[in-house]
Amino acid sequence: MLGIIGLGGIYRDAYKDALAYLQKKDIIVFDINKNSSTYAVKHAKKNGLEYMIANSVREVFEEASEICLFLPPKEILPVIKEGVELANKNIVTKFIYIEKPLGVNYSESKEIKQILNAYGIKLYYNEVFLHSSTTDILVEEVLSMRNGKVTSIE
């Protein structure tokens, strides 16, 4: 099962249609804003999908083998701590994808990575922002081949 925590702007702007396109049936969502959760469920239904709404972060960590965190950077560490501490031995999560800066500073980023490692959760991370020139810079760098030929992008 796929879990999504954070159904605000970046989910609506960049991910809702992509996730609907996958036609994945087993998705559990959570957001502290009930309107955001309701919006995600309505959008899914429009695409023939049925998302389940979780009642807590803990529930997502207990039900989803993979989780996408679409959260503001300052919320990532507290959500991960809440999820792993409350779920504890009931964690089924094996993968977490974070779409943001990993943390608000180096020490917080390091702590996030240490927590995930301690629970055997593999981190997938993306710092390409929808509303910035980062993507253009990345494409330019890859195409320049200054650092050699790209063999894979994950």
Nearest by Cα to 99 from 6, 27, 2, 30: 6
Looking at residue 20, its pLDDT comes to 77
Looking at residue 128, its pLDDT comes to 55
Looking at residue 3, its pLDDT comes to 94
Looking at residue 46, its pLDDT comes to 87
CA separation (Å) from 95 to 35, 91, 125, 139?
A: 27, 11, 10, 27
Looking at residue 126, its pLDDT comes to 76
The structure's pTM equals: 0.78
Looking at residue 110, its pLDDT comes to 92
Taking 50 as the pLDDT cut, the residues of the chain under it are none
Q: In this structure, how many other beta carbons lie within 10 angstroms of the beta carbon of residue 116?
A: 18
